[in-house]
Chain A
Amino acid sequence: RKEVEQDPGPFNVPEGATVAFNCTYSNSASQSFFWYRQDCRKEPKLLMSVYSSGNEDGRFTAQLNRASQYISLLIRDSKLSDSATYLCVVLTGRRALTFGSGTRLQVQP
């Protein structure tokens, strides 16, 4: 079983839609969580950290459920520029992050 699992998509949504991605992680000892965004095989860029209490950054909301070991990302009012691959990322003890394979989002006009 992969350490971090995501639905690869693609999720095709119209502009203005709300879309949610989920991600599950296998190691209950994981202690830090992030969402990264990656455009067309360019470098991944940090979108936001995910905190236990949930956190929001503009149109983006991240939630963490430690009991069920899943992380979610909600995007409201989708823009064309949101089209990208979203990577779920966890830190478990080691010094390096573990990345999911990504969920592809395509926002259509």
Chain B
Amino acid sequence: DAGITQSPRYKITETGRQVTLMCHQTWSHSYMFWYRQDLGHGLRLIYYSAAADITDKGEVSDGYVVSRSKTENFPLTLESATRSQTSVYFCASRTGTSGAYEQYFGPGTRLTVT
């Protein structure tokens, strides 16, 4: 179905494990983003990508890795999960059209690190 999807929707993992969160969009949007949302902090940018093979860090990128080999996919990997990475993770996308800066979000992944 069209839109932006994330998987898994819920994940429990142990400290030190590698975890990959998937994001897929069907709009062919140029830009994709990863945010995390924690109580008291709002949404904070982890990484973003302007196009395939172009990525850049956000304000809270430590401990995370991204890749974008295809326009429609933007996976986020936690290299060695820590309890502080327990959060809700949202993927978003938008067009590359100048002046059209609205972002559209996926349903989120709730990650718990034990």
By a beta-carbon cutoff of 8 Å, the part of chain A in contact with chain B is 32, 34, 41-46, 49, 87, 91, 95-102
User: Known: A44-B43, A44-B90, A101-B40. Contact between A96 and B33, CB under 8 A?
Assistant: yes
Chain B contributes a number of interface residues (CB within 8 A of A) equal to: 23
Q: Could you tell me the dominant secondary structure of chain B's interface residues?
A: strand
Using A41-B88, A41-B108, A42-B108 as known contacts, say yes or no to A96 and B45 having CB atoms under 8 A apart: yes
Q: Does B107 contact A (CB under 8 A)?
A: yes
- A43 CA / B106 CA spacing, docked (Å): 6
Is B77's beta carbon under 8 Å from chain A? no
Q: Could you tell me the distance in whole angstroms from the C-beta of B83 to the nearest C-beta in chain A?
A: 19
- Nearest opposing residue in chain B for A85, CB measure: B42
Answer yes or no: B8 CB below 8 A from chain A CBs: no
